[in-house]
Structure 1
């Protein structure tokens, strides 16, 4: 392995860390540096593997205990997240798409982890022990890679927990504050088809694109009509070919002017999509539609929502998030937040696509070279881990050493 590649990879990570930990104390900076470096090298969030990746010349158990002790303190986690968002400001377009969705960390065999609660395992559609997460992410402009904005892990058994709606509202408030005067479009799945969400997004002056549930009623020509009945009135005049999660679809699209009973003064549009599943897909938006281009723009925006599913897969498969074992929710929350910050850093590196990015991707050695790859995050994560696996000194030699003054103090 070329030593220059190792140095450039570590230098890029250290530059990111310096911005991420700005204003924090030196012990906390060292802790976050250790975690992010170890996570990048080990390619998972297990503290034992992170400790091994640090290459420290002391007993491994002492390193694990030190990381575990520091991980239980999350007082500066908000400041760290604030620094992360500040680093993204120049990458946010004028009209960003913000993808909103929930996920879960399932721990079916855990017994002593703090505040375990029942969550729905989306892969099996059953209730299991674990922790729910709220996620707000963007897709980068050129390569459409996930750029996490707000990712929060919580438990319904924590003392300060009130309701899921309040946890979701915290995410909306954080992202809205971060965007400032920029108007965003929140792209959401059926779980967010609620009057509360529609009223909130409308009140704060943003747009939304939400997939509708079949039990929803809409107002059309002053009549209250159920969504499936209204959708069947349009058979799709616009043809559109697209690829969703690697599969190609031939879609037919139409739109209908509608209103919500709770927002009677706000004109809305329902976009009906045939060809994706047995039933037509129904999308509700407060974007105006004046023609074919507007309809397809709304559909493409919703298709971009699948990028957050890729983010969840990266969390669980590339970083083995569900294998992580910690005794406190605070420790798990810190690891979860840092992992998402790292994903954001990687996505921006892929977006820039400089010489170092190409070097990292080349080191991953894809199993099928002929396959056309559009989503590079998996390869990039593996490439970073591959390069750092040849590093035998860890990150400690990159720390700045303060020289003591030779002058004797008279005090």
Structure 2
């Protein structure tokens, strides 16, 4: 990823750019107007977070370099951070800014992570247990990216735990976040679920909603779907659907999975689709069977469900598959940028302060992504051509057989 460190952020252009971004975020037209104190606070926090690369209030205060004592700056920030109304206000502003850019084919990528605080016992609503030394909050992030884009923009960050009043389930928290975003976009956009972090329970709630457009890899292969009046599991559907469209992709496999070095794996990917109905909603959708096979691995079949209907051509079907496969690259880029601020280093004890901190971090990420644009470097896990570099390969390169592994 492109370096967005101190030397870049302290330049005169960047300072002015951040000020302009913050002014736009605080515009009266986006939400309930902010008072003078709140505006100054938001300006200070975005600047401090961006310069300090931290959510620790002391480090944020130090990064501001104000002409008053560090303690006084810290006290001011902490006092203004305890504002439940400001959490909702800033969150609404960020969502409004992002939703204006969302179109019918924009990917709305849903990702869930955990915010750990080892051995913490005094943080409000942080789950604790005698045997649990790594209690955590859950964080749902929804970011948006166009189908073939190499960048993204954040829409929503939601923090919760099982101890927060009104908690029902993790699935409910994630689903409500999805609905909040779709309400802001007037149902524009296609929900892409990160199946590694979002549970089947959340997916089931999405499937039951007739208004949500989605592209979901389904982990539960026993899930039933209807074909005319007959009921089949997704596992059975994988055997029924002809995968008529195919192509070669190259997958970059991390160290330790296929050997002691990073490996470029050749994959034959072929896909097909068939119309089915979701029993819980009665909604007609498309079932996609995706099969992958390589020179060293057996064939593997993966089921998807999507509301996208016009998938009769190779371009449409394989384009949708490519959009899903590249979602992982966008998420990796986002997580690397987010983690560069070391969010687990927060030192606030109240849930309200944590919520506002994470929302302000989302704003800073939105700013930095907008500054970098398409210049942010992204490692493509799946590529149309062989990856560059000194890699182990499961195929022969005609121009350099020495780099290849024997089949």
Taking structure 2 as the reference length, the TM-score comes to: 0.75
Q: 2:69 matched to 1:52?
A: no
Whole-angstrom distance in 2 between the partners of 1:287 and 1:156: 35
Alignment RMSD (CA, Å): 3.2
Whole-angstrom distance in 2 between the partners of 1:215 and 1:127: 36
**Match for residue 199 of structure 1 among 172, 194, 208:** 208
The Cα shift of 1:143 comes to 4.4
Q: Which residue of 1 is the match for residue 345 of structure 2?
A: 323
Q: Which residue of 2 is the match for residue 25 of structure 1?
A: 35
The Cα shift of 1:274 comes to 1.6
**Match for residue 285 of structure 1 among 290, 306, 311:** 306
Secondary structure class of the residue paired with 2:65: coil
| Greater than 6 Å deviation, 4+ residue runs | 1-5
Secondary structure class of the residue paired with 2:84: coil
> Which has the larger share of helix?
1
Q: Which residue of 1 is the match for residue 287 of structure 2?
A: 269
**Match for residue 164 of structure 1 among 151, 167, 170:** 170
The Cα shift of 1:273 comes to 3.1
CA distance change for structure 1 residues 48 and 273 in 2, over 3 Å: closer, same or farther?
farther
Secondary structure class of the residue paired with 1:91: coil
Whole-angstrom distance in 1 between the partners of 2:71 and 2:146: 40
Whole-angstrom distance in 1 between the partners of 2:61 and 2:120: 22
**Deviation digits for residues 201-234 of structure 1 (CA, Å, limit 9, x no counterpart):** x2x2x42111112332333464433323432455
**Deviation digits for residues 364-406 of structure 1 (CA, Å, limit 9, x no counterpart):** xxxxxxxxx4369xxxxxxxxxxxxxxxxxxxxxxxxxxxxxx
Q: Which residue of 1 is the match for residue 72 of structure 2?
A: 62
Q: Which residue of 1 is the match for residue 400 of structure 2?
A: none
Q: 2:352 matched to 1:335?
A: no
Q: Which residue of 2 is the match for residue 308 of structure 1?
A: 331
The Cα shift of 1:110 comes to 1.3
**Match for residue 135 of structure 1 among 138, 141, 153:** 141
Asked whether the equivalents of residues 9 and 15 of structure 2 are also in contact (C-alpha less than 8 Å), the reply is no
Q: 2:93 matched to 1:83?
A: yes
Whole-angstrom distance in 1 between the partners of 2:250 and 2:58: 40
**Match for residue 53 of structure 2 among 27, 34, 43:** 43
Whole-angstrom distance in 2 between the partners of 1:256 and 1:352: 32
**Match for residue 17 of structure 2 among 12, 19, 22:** 12
Secondary structure class of the residue paired with 2:158: strand
Whole-angstrom distance in 2 between the partners of 1:89 and 1:348: 15
**Deviation digits for residues 77-136 of structure 1 (CA, Å, limit 9, x no counterpart):** 2222232233335533342111112111112321211111279xxxxxx99411011221
The Cα shift of 1:332 comes to 1.3
Q: Which residue of 1 is the match for residue 368 of structure 2?
A: 346
Secondary structure class of the residue paired with 2:215: strand
Secondary structure class of the residue paired with 2:85: coil
The Cα shift of 1:272 comes to 1.9
The Cα shift of 1:50 comes to 0.6
Q: Which residue of 2 is the match for residue 388 of structure 1?
A: none
Count of residues in correspondence between the two structures? 347
Q: Which residue of 2 is the match for residue 253 of structure 1?
A: 270
CA distance change for structure 1 residues 297 and 242 in 2, over 3 Å: closer, same or farther?
same
Tell me whether 141-150 or 329-338 shows the greater mean CA deviation.
141-150
Tell me whether 323-332 or 301-310 shows the greater mean CA deviation.
301-310
Q: Which residue of 2 is the match for residue 116 of structure 1?
A: 126
Q: Which residue of 2 is the match for residue 217 of structure 1?
A: 224
Whole-angstrom distance in 1 between the partners of 2:147 and 2:18: 23
The Cα shift of 1:337 comes to 0.8
Taking structure 1 as the reference length, the TM-score comes to: 0.75
Asked whether the equivalents of residues 162 and 169 of structure 2 are also in contact (C-alpha less than 8 Å), the reply is yes
Secondary structure class of the residue paired with 2:22: helix
Whole-angstrom distance in 2 between the partners of 1:287 and 1:4: 41
Secondary structure class of the residue paired with 1:326: coil
